[in-house]
Amino acid sequence: MKFYNVELPCIKLLEKRKMLFFKLINNKTIIWKNGSKRLDIDSIKDVRTDSLARNYIEEYGIDNTTAKWWVTLIYVINNNKLKCLHLVLNNEEEFKLFVSSILDIIKERRELMQSILVPDHARFANIHWESTVSPKKEDEIKETLTFQDVQALCSKFNIVSSHSYLHKNFLLADVNNNGLLNFAEFQTFVKLLKKRDEIDTLWKNITLNKNKMNFESFFDFISTKQGENITKKAALRLFKQISQFKETINKDIFLKYLRNEPYTKNINENYSHPITDYFIASSHNTYLLGKQVAETPSVEGYIQVLQQGCRSVEIDIWDSEIGPVVCHGLLTSAIPLSNVVTAIRKYAFITSPYPLIISLEINCGPDNQLLTVKILREILGNSLLESIVDKHGIMSPRHLKHKIILKSKKCKHVEQQTPLSSFSSYSSSHESEVEIRQRRKKSTASIERFRRIKLKHDFRVIDQLLEISAIHGIRFRNTSLPESKTVNHCFSLNEKKIDKLCQDKTLKLAIDKHNRKFFMRVFPHVIRYKSSNFNPIQFWKYGTQMVATNWQTYDIGQQLNIAMFQLTDQKNGILNSGYVLKPKYIREKTTNTKNIPLIYEKIHQNKKKLIFNILSAQFLPSNDLKKGCTIAPYVIIEFFTTEITELNQDLQVHNGTKISDYKITTKTCPGNGFNPVWNCEMSINICDDSFTFIRLCVKSSDTTLGVICFKLDYLKRGYRHVPLYNMEGERYVFSTVFLYSEIK
């Protein structure tokens, strides 16, 4: 039973706890306020009750009895922004009816959307014929399409192919040679257009040239080629589901199965280790939406990264006449600290229940520090955690659910600053004052907007602020001092500093040993004034928990960061945690640095061979193609790992070109952006797939059509369709790359 067309009374928390009546209409929309307010079921990303909604329940001060009937709906609005709808039902019966109805409909509609995504040829043709020729079914037998109509249709539905490619298929479908396609001929045209030679070859190999596939062939395929760890009983249930309880499946059903199967493994992460045993999705200069210099800070920066799954954000707090503010130096515009903390409190756990770390950069005097403590205590309330240690030691992410942890730098003082020295602190240490002045003159328009405030003096971080900070940042001198042994300390180093330290083998081992037990944070150097990113892999390999990147820039560094934390893959509406357990060999504690090389030697002895084949792509986008350019897609394949020089000496490529020891390109496929086929095979030796990433960049000439970056040990083996993303990190709905992978 669903609450379809039945009004259920609920209390909507953001409506001053008024009683409102909610109704489900057409199995796709929830309405209230007599239909003036509505929520589409398709926009719901998550349904949270009980412990998963605990932070919201505590925020609104709901008693335990009422909390049992609490529901939070996480949904998407314009520009992929997440919002919450908090409801309280009246009793257990209405609660179960509401929640079960929502979950059932979400499941049904997702299955429906998946079926529409890959319809059979006849259905595909019927949908597109009706949208182009006539809405009346009887017109199908008397209406026709010209070649110009077909071109317009393909353009409308983003079927990117050259004139010659479309015309060739048009002529093949035009069986009566009159230069027009009736409905039957248009169905043939669609079949030719959607023909996938690589699937035909695979199908023939599996079925031995038969038209049908039985269960035994299917089970052999998914257990051997696909590497699925599945029992025969479970495989039979799956086969019955996709075959609709028939004895065999045809090629179209098989293709539909391949397209619907997830390309990443379903990893059940263990969150019971100490929090220092995890990599944590971390943001640098979170308050900025663009470049580092002359950029206006914004609360939106915090909202965006928290909605994407970030678990460590940064706040730079400065003095002002109105109290503590957040900005990027003395001379830039600023936003009140209270606004930032309020936004963080609201969005802290919208994607993940696991702890959020706030890295505080304190650049204000004692008075504003006291106000900072007051603001943090009042707004964060019970979610604020003052210690990460209990009687058993450092607590785990599981024990720290819905908690906010502050990190403050435990320093004695800073030097008195002037506007110039403040600005230069965000500039390259290699620049002279003359060079800085010259660069500042180029930004006259921006400087006019700068807010000048009283110069700050030397200060100390007050005890009250350190008391509410569960993690204390300390200056790195070495790892042997007593302060470097405290449980709650954290070293913060910029990329160049840690690179320089790790050139010394003894220091590198000491840092490796330190990070097996204590916190470290690495962030981009100040010379990255355009908010570019470094390659984070080497810092993860050092065991660094918080490798902070500029999330506002979707470059290769951020793509690797997103791939590590699987932030693009929201399986079944459940968002990702932002925590990844380190590989065992990096988190194992050791009392002697001499043992560390021995640990790595064991890893390097276990070489594996990766076979990787870029077969084809589907529905490539054309938005960024230059006007008049004919599409000729190709793929650049890049391997990112920590052992490139050693591993890739044996890189072998077939039907493609080796550009470097870690980069390959396929041939071009002129004129076909709808279903280009490359069949480019390569093999590479790898030692550690924990830190091996693969990036695919689909291009036409010098235009990037789409990218995808994934971590090798997350990728399911066998034949997989992987999605493509634009250069802002937004997923294309239909565009995919079809690939094959195998590890020997």
pLDDT of amino acid 633: 96
Distance CA 210, CA 73 (A): 48
User: pLDDT digits over 454-466, tens only?
Assistant: 444 456 899 999 9
Question: How many CB atoms sit inside 10 A of residue 475's CB?
Answer: 12
pLDDT band at 715 (very low <50, low <70, confident <90, very high): very high
pLDDT of amino acid 442: 39
pLDDT of amino acid 114: 53
Distance CA 176, CA 186 (A): 12
Annotated active-site residue in 86, 284, 489, 514: 284
pLDDT of amino acid 157: 64
pLDDT of amino acid 101: 87
Would the pLDDT of 187 be above 80? yes
Query: How many residues are listed for the chain in this entry?
Result: 744
Beta-strand relationship, 471-474 and 489-494: parallel
pLDDT > 90: what percent of the chain? Answer: 51
Amino acid in position 35: G
User: pLDDT digits over 168-184, tens only?
Assistant: 999 999 998 999 998 88
Distance CA 519, CA 488 (A): 8
Distance CA 587, CA 318 (A): 37
Would the pLDDT of 301 be above 80? yes
Of residues 533 and 457, the one with the higher pLDDT is 533
To 5 degrees, how large is the angle CA 566–CA 115–CA 720?
Answer: 40
Distance CA 301, CA 611 (A): 40
User: pLDDT digits over 55-106, tens only?
Assistant: 778 777 888 888 999 998 888 776 667 788 888 888 899 899 889 888 888 8
pLDDT of amino acid 138: 44
Distance CA 80, CA 674 (A): 27
User: pLDDT digits over 397-428, tens only?
Assistant: 999 999 999 999 986 544 444 333 333 333 33
pLDDT of amino acid 7: 66
Q: Is 128 part of the annotated catalytic residue set?
A: no
Q: What are phi and psi of 651, to 5 degrees?
A: -65, 120
Cα 487 from chain centroid (whole Å): 31
Annotated active-site residue in 128, 328, 489, 514: 328
pLDDT of amino acid 497: 96
Most trustworthy range by pLDDT among 423-432, 435-444, 576-585, 635-644: 576-585
Cα 223 from chain centroid (whole Å): 29
Q: What is the mean pLDDT of the chain?
A: 84
pLDDT of amino acid 135: 47
pLDDT band at 118 (very low <50, low <70, confident <90, very high): low
Would the pLDDT of 514 be above 60? yes
Would the pLDDT of 449 be above 50? no
Distance CA 96, CA 284 (A): 42
Of the candidate ranges 110-119, 235-244, 272-281, 688-697, the one whose mean pLDDT is the lowest: 110-119
Mean pLDDT computed over 493-513: 96
Would the pLDDT of 613 be above 60? yes
Of residues 660 and 428, the one with the higher pLDDT is 660
Of the candidate ranges 56-60, 266-270, 318-322, the one whose mean pLDDT is the lowest: 56-60
Task: Output the CA–CA distances (angstroms, integers) from residue 148 to 151, 163, 584, in the order listed.
Answer: 5, 10, 61
pLDDT > 70: what percent of the chain? Answer: 82
To 5 degrees, how large is the angle CA 219–CA 222–CA 223?
Answer: 80
Residue with tokens 């550009």: 659
pLDDT of amino acid 509: 96
pLDDT band at 583 (very low <50, low <70, confident <90, very high): very high
Would the pLDDT of 611 be above 90? yes
Would the pLDDT of 604 be above 60? yes
User: pLDDT digits over 40-62, tens only?
Assistant: 887 888 888 987 787 778 777 88
Q: Is 86 part of the annotated catalytic residue set?
A: no
Would the pLDDT of 378 be above 90? yes
Residue with tokens 């500093």: 497
pLDDT band at 625 (very low <50, low <70, confident <90, very high): confident
The token duo for 68 is: 């049992």
Residue 414, exposed/middle/buried by CB under 10 A (0-12, 13-18, 19+)?
middle
Of the candidate ranges 191-200, 443-452, 533-542, 711-720, the one whose mean pLDDT is the lowest: 443-452
